[in-house]
Structure 1
Amino acid sequence: MSTITLIRGPVQAAERSPAPDLARGFMLLLIAIANTTYYLWGSEMNPGTSHPRDGSAVDKVADFLSITFVDMRTYPMFAFLFGYGMMQLYNRQVASGTPDAIARSLLQRRNGLLLAFGFVHGALLWMGDVLGAYGLAGLLMVWLFFQVKDRTLIVWTWVLGAPAALFVVLATVGGWFIARLPADDPTAREMAAAFMPSDGESVSTTSYLASIGWRLAYWTLGTVGQGVLTLVVPVMLLLAFWAGRRRILENPGEHLPLLRRVAVVGLTLGWLGPLPAALDHVGAIDVPDHAAWVFLPVQILTGFFGGLGYVALFGLIGHRVAQRRSGPPSGNLFLTDGPFTGAIQAVGKRSLTSYLLQSVLCAPVLAAWGLGLGQYLSSWSMLLYAVVVWGLTVAFAVWQERTGRRGPAEVLLRRLVYGRPTAPR
């Protein structure tokens, strides 16, 4: 590995803003809820929602809440925070005197490593890994757009966002017509197969070696699809670059009107968009299975707005947290911001470790090649399991924060990106 000469190293504790860490820490709960659904390998899934068809009334409530508030809303938000973090890293390096080309090379090294981390994560544990998608999109967007003007960022946001919106409109209209075709119609079958690929083999097979192949196949499709083709992650990165230049999450008090508007509009669209899918899932409306794929593009597009709304909401919460502080951040988050808020920030500071730890706590326990517990759980009990998993990551992060340790995944990534420190920081 080549050496990059840097004037400064990674971000220090006193430089961190509460909003991004609060957002990452809390949204990891929603990620756990979204991901554990796929471990219900003993249940027949609704092709339009990837939730079990059958279940008790409590199960249906759990599914309805997950579809409306969680599904496809978390990865766009983390994509924004990922892009925002890149701009923060770049700004700190350049402000400390690191040449622009070296600072961008640092970003690209980090993006390439995230792609590698995602490959290993996908191969060993979790088919739905998002690190690879973020790393791939980061490599492309830093190369193409990191140095362009603000106006260019906004123009390309519209250029890339418009086709996605048009696709959703066309898919919705097409789904309306296909719903009227017989289920055995060749066109209906082909559309359903194209939009609803199977992803359950990696958790339902009893062979761990066989599961690796299934996971890598799905990971490759997901990395390219999520990272590039659906355009959600690239557009989020463009907006994050723009926001990062203005330090909106570091200084939310200077941008409160913008944050309020984005929170209201984003969450409204993000929560209304999934309602048809949620209503169909619980039986309030009836859409034929061969046309249920129509909900997927709608979920993707409205998930983009929902992700932005969540970012803005946590920007506002971060502003309130910062206002309550009586002085500058101390070395003790729990004294500075209180036990609950400090605990959430502790998770956010170790979001990579916490994300990977979720897979360690889920895959070997729930998948058929492990203990196989996923066969015996239902939607509501899996929701409870997800909360417990998140709670364990919180406890681990709190322990690390109190003992002055960084997350092991963060330590490894920083060592690979920055190399060994040559001077005190």
Structure 2
Amino acid sequence: MGTATPTYTLAQFIQAAIAQQKAVAVWRLPLQQQVQACVALEHQVVGNQPELESSPFGFLFSPFVIEEQPTIFVKADIVFNSESGQLRFSEAVTKAQQQEFILALNNAEPANQNWHLHATETITQQTEAGFKSAVAEAIQTINSGQMEKVVLSRTATKPFPAGFDLVSAYTSMLEAYPNAFVSLVSVPEVGTWLGASPEILVSIDPQHIFRTVALAGTQPAIPGEPVGNAIWRQKEIEEQGMVERYILSCFKKLRLREYTEVGPRTIVAGNLMHLRTDFSVDLKEVDFPTLGTNMLELLHPTSAVCGLPKEPALNFILAHEGYDRSYYSGYLGPVNAPEGTHLYVNLRCMQLLQTEAILYAGAGITGESDAEKEWQETQHKMQTMGKILSDFT
């Protein structure tokens, strides 16, 4: 009789990586059951926007401002699949490295729940007064004609409840947000982030279909109420229209005419509803082999997290937001995985420090915005991650 292939748990895989001071990324695509994870024996810092088409299998983790934080590539040297519980090693991994990691897996203790921390705990944050002041100034700037829209964000710090556990928190996110891209990224010196994002940035599936979305406009979802009954204000309709027009302008820059557009329609993401328009391109019919890389370069940061026009909006954010977004509203996801490339905007996320979590949320500001309502919108968005923390209490 042959020896059975050993199986492991997601908790063992994550803890073995952290114990060995290795970068680990975990993800589940929307509406899927399978959770995947990869460990890089040596994580790489990517200097510029990556070339998606020529990249090896791995996980990209990129900040809001590329020049201010490193883009991290977690190469898939060791891959874990939750459905089989088995490991797969890339050809670059030596027998000695395999045995060393398997030893760490077998020694992983459930009680030893820790994670990689940022190199420094002094992380800047935004206050309620600071946020509302920035919104007021943004409205003035928009109404003076200097920009159409800007997205302003803020943070909130929450102490970890008793019994907080990294893997349990991730499992709770999987159950609570089946329609989201649910991720966990933990990199030495860079830190640990959990997120449940509703927003595709760039996706290319195994059938060579390119996808991106325009997602904007926010209102609380009413439990049991059909999404077809949602009523949208002019502000949200116009905000979503701006994001649509920006994507179409990117296609135009690339002289791409063959695309499919569906929407806008109302979708539910956690406790919120948004307006969403889906765009797709069949790369089997369009001779555009580098569309993924080209669109990533044009789209990030999108008008849904930055504003329009992009340059004045970004300059306004850097001058008035009052803190460093770091990896919030950057992008992340698997590249050239068996399921394709799927990069999502890092929204509805939190960063884990030693004893507390930093929650992030933003709101799109237009000339019709109201500072108090925008503050309340960020409160609603933070409930996505806040619920995960409160589940432990």
Normalising by the residue count of structure 1, what TM-score does the alignment of the two structures yield?
0.23
Higher relative contact order (CA 8 A, sep 6+): 1
Higher relative strand content? 2
TM-score by length of 2: 0.24
